Structure 1
């Protein structure tokens, strides 16, 4: 019996992942060109939203057409972290988001990304539903904040702050869940005597 052929890394979902990484510096340039100008803030937010939508698109396409690859599993989260990390740090630099929130989220985000890479020899830890909900919540909060809260009505500012706090809670809770999953993957691989070279 022949082994099932794996999809090529040269596919549309992986191309979208690479595009998302490329959009990160574009987003930063637009945001910091005139951060005090509402028009430029809208433009930067638009670039951010387009980049986020590539994340939704690549996952959907990969699953629908069976184009899930190890490259995608590993680099899709990295692309997400690069984009959202750039947005979080930018808001901190602009003085529009508390650095405590930023540091807590980024330590968790990059810590889990490092953990994925560290356990890759035992197995690939794909994103779970909690992680996806966390990403959506972060993305919505960031998109509103990037518009510039001072440019928004008070009610929308309150909603943005509530969503940001929800994103923080989800980020920390799912981080703990990923650590448990990583330990299980490692434990099961050792028990089965399997390990990737």
Structure 2
């Protein structure tokens, strides 16, 4: 993801004010770098995933397995593109915009397809999408005041969502079908909990930023 990762000594999230990037006059980063290419691959996988997911009525185990493979590749690229961009100084404006869009697109496509096929309740899809879209909007709301780093809870939420949705994509039966319900329940709890924590941090950061601006004006 595009969130900046940081933590306190106890492992909790910290609200970090936005600072000027190092080497502001640094070299120009090419659009065609490995991080952006992985993001583009993830975007291109979305329509392919939907086609595989809905093929032959949407319930054929073979097509669902292929859809799961496409979804898994997208999730794996999500783990690497942001890290590569930060580690090798490959951050671009395109990546900042495209990465979160790609994240939401593949997860949103999977959730909507599952609900449309009757495999996942619509309220689950609604809760997750509302949280993801809402937090994205809130990130832009506070971006001029600073950046809220991704917490351990946020990472666990992303992992739980990926595993749960992946299990629902596969045509599982028996005990595994029951297990996926519990994994999705954990994902929903983490989704709501981390979303509320993000709102709390965003409000705190915005208040601190506004207070600093007023103090500066004096």
Deviation per residue, 1:155-179 (Å, 9 max, x gap):
2112211110000000000001111
Q: What residue in structure 1 maps to residue 49 of structure 2?
A: 27
Deviation per residue, 1:3-43 (Å, 9 max, x gap):
46377362322332232122111110111122121111101
CA distance in 2, matches of 1:74, 1:142: 24
The verdict on how the C-alpha distance between 1:5 and 1:15 changes in structure 2, with shifts beyond 3 A counting, is: same
Structure 2: 5+ residue runs without aligned partners? Answer: 1-22
**Segment of structure 1 superposing worse, 156-165 or 124-133:** 124-133
3-state SS in 2 of match to 1:193: helix
Q: What residue in structure 1 maps to residue 153 of structure 2?
A: 130
Q: What residue in structure 2 maps to residue 169 of structure 1?
A: 189
CA distance in 1, matches of 2:144, 2:197: 20
Shift of 1:52: 0.7
What TM-score, normalized to structure 1? 0.85
The verdict on how the C-alpha distance between 1:7 and 1:62 changes in structure 2, with shifts beyond 3 A counting, is: farther
The verdict on how the C-alpha distance between 1:105 and 1:98 changes in structure 2, with shifts beyond 3 A counting, is: same
CA distance in 2, matches of 1:63, 1:88: 29
Answer whether contact 2:39 2:98 (CA < 8 A) is retained.
yes
Q: What residue in structure 1 maps to residue 29 of structure 2?
A: 8
> Which protein has the larger Cα radius of gyration, Structure 1 or Structure 2?
2
What TM-score, normalized to structure 2? 0.78
Deviation per residue, 1:114-165 (Å, 9 max, x gap):
11122233334443332121111101111110012xxx24121122111100
CA distance in 2, matches of 1:71, 1:153: 42
CA distance in 2, matches of 1:87, 1:180: 29
CA distance in 2, matches of 1:47, 1:120: 32
| CA-atom RMSD in angstroms | 2.3
The verdict on how the C-alpha distance between 1:74 and 1:192 changes in structure 2, with shifts beyond 3 A counting, is: farther
Answer whether contact 1:7 1:68 (CA < 8 A) is retained.
no
CA distance in 1, matches of 2:43, 2:121: 25
